[in-house]
Amino acid sequence: MESVRLPVVNQSGYYEIRLESIGGLGANLCGKMMGELGTKYMGLNSASFSSYGSEKTGTPVKAFIRYCEASKDIRVHSPVTTPHLLGIFHDALIQDHGIFSGCNSDSIVVMNTENNLEDPCAAANNIPSVKCVFTVPAQKIAIETHSRINVVMLGAMAKASGFIPIESVNKICEETLGRKYPQTLSNNLEGIRRGYNEVKRVELTLTGRTEISSEKETEAWGYQTAPIGGVNPRFGSSVISDLSASRQGYFPFFLKERCINCGLCDSACPDMVFQFQKGEYRGKEMMVNTGLDYYHCKGCLRCVSVCPVQALVKGVESEHPDKQWFLPNQDLIRVPDYYEAAGPDGYVTSESYLTEKRIEGGEI
């Protein structure tokens, strides 16, 4: 087996990759496949591991991969802080500056997004000065090919890296996914092919952009650094958390004209998304559904299941960037000036978001 030549390495002699995702999109498996790919099919030494919380699905997930020449040992097993290749699996993560931590002039960034980053937008402003940026509509491709976002991103990152052969990617897919899910192998291979072919490089104006340092100093709270009175303002609450990143491509689309204001959606919703206020319906004074707080919607689609008149239907979120009935929670004492990018999601537990049936109440 001929060894692949790494285009760039750090001072330790490693080529480093970091995957930023939310649980449920397959970044953990993608990281494992990239690690095995280097060892089995590219003649390199490699190491990979992932980092995620106890809830995993819907919460932040990171995967780390290191490559080096076969004659060298990998003796570093800490998280990747200065990636040569950064893969971002969900476009909601682009809003977070910390996602790009450690990126520099040697870094290649691959994003799953359908947005045109060449147009002026807030998301593009978060991208630091890097070597180049690639985008791929992985969500759209996965839906069309009945595959997964992780295999589409795997193909896209192979193309963007410039040294990972597509033939080797297909082989690791056949070995890893073909053995466990032989019935979906052709779909996954098609997802890889389209990700490889449809990823595109975007030209961004990097004037004034700087590198985002990966170093962060922290210190214990004391009388000089603790909040006044010793009150911890960061208590365990998700009331100002933006759960948008937990939605895996779909959201409840509200058809106001069909709604009979029965309240079943509000009863089924675990996150107080529906905003009912006093109003009039068919000549009677009653509580009327005035909209949805999509900040708190994590995309479990329970409301879609219980709606008796199909006033709530499953919609593809990328097709509705401006949600007509978006209404922030009116029961909050105050509406936050900003929502924190977060997303605990204990309901969506599927391995695939593309099937329609539910397994044990969890798979969508």
Sequence ranges of the domains in the chain: 15-202, 241-341
Q: What is the pLDDT of residue 208?
A: 45
Q: What is the pLDDT of residue 224?
A: 75
| Gap between the Cα atoms of 76 and 127, Å rounded | 27
Beta strands in 113-240 (DSSP E): 132-136, 200-202
Comparing CA positions, the residue from 102, 73, 77, 81 lying closest to residue 13 is 73
| Gap between the Cα atoms of 265 and 165, Å rounded | 49
* Angle at which helices 27-41 and 166-180 cross, to 10°: 120
| Gap between the Cα atoms of 364 and 356, Å rounded | 6
Q: What is the pLDDT of residue 32?
A: 95
Residue corresponding to tokens 């990281």: 31
Q: Per residue of the chain (364 residues), give pLDDT as tens.
A: 667 899 999 999 999 999 999 887 889 999 999 999 999 999 999 999 998 866 566 677 899 999 999 999 999 989 999 999 999 998 878 877 788 889 998 999 999 988 776 655 555 667 888 899 999 999 889 989 999 999 999 999 999 999 999 999 999 999 998 888 889 999 999 999 999 999 999 887 654 455 555 555 556 767 777 777 767 666 666 666 777 777 777 899 999 999 999 999 999 998 889 999 999 999 999 999 999 998 888 888 999 999 999 999 998 887 887 888 888 877 775 566 656 665 444 444 333 444 444 444 443 3
Please classify residue 209 by burial: count the beta carbons closer than 10 Å to its beta carbon, then call 0-12 exposed, 13-18 middle and 19+ buried.
middle
In CATH terms, the fold of domain 241-341 is Alpha-Beta Plaits (3.30.70)
Q: What is the pLDDT of residue 93?
A: 82
Tokens for 160, please give them.
Answer: 């963007």
> b vs e for 253-281, b when ≥16 Cβ sit within 10 Å of the residue's Cβ?
bbeeeebebeebbbebbebebbbbeeeee
Answer for the pair 21, 63: CB distance below 8 angstroms, yes or no.
Answer: yes
Residue 181: other Cβ atoms inside 10 A:
14
Dihedral angle over CA of 179, 181, 182, 183, nearest 10: 180
Answer for the pair 341, 92: CB distance below 8 angstroms, yes or no.
Answer: yes
Q: What is the pLDDT of residue 343?
A: 46
Q: What is the pLDDT of residue 215?
A: 55
Comparing CA positions, the residue from 145, 134, 136, 148 lying closest to residue 195 is 136
Q: Kindly report the pTM of this predicted structure.
A: 0.72
Q: What is the pLDDT of residue 1?
A: 62
| Gap between the Cα atoms of 161 and 144, Å rounded | 25
Q: What is the pLDDT of residue 179?
A: 86
Tokens for 13, please give them.
Answer: 């002699």
Comparing CA positions, the residue from 26, 76, 33, 34 lying closest to residue 52 is 26
Q: What is the pLDDT of residue 167?
A: 94
Comparing CA positions, the residue from 346, 292, 342 lying closest to residue 317 is 292
Beta-ladder partners of 17: 65, 85
Please classify residue 126 by burial: count the beta carbons closer than 10 Å to its beta carbon, then call 0-12 exposed, 13-18 middle and 19+ buried.
middle
In CATH terms, the fold of domain 15-202 is Pyruvate-ferredoxin Oxidoreductase; domain 3 (3.40.920)
Q: What is the pLDDT of residue 337?
A: 62
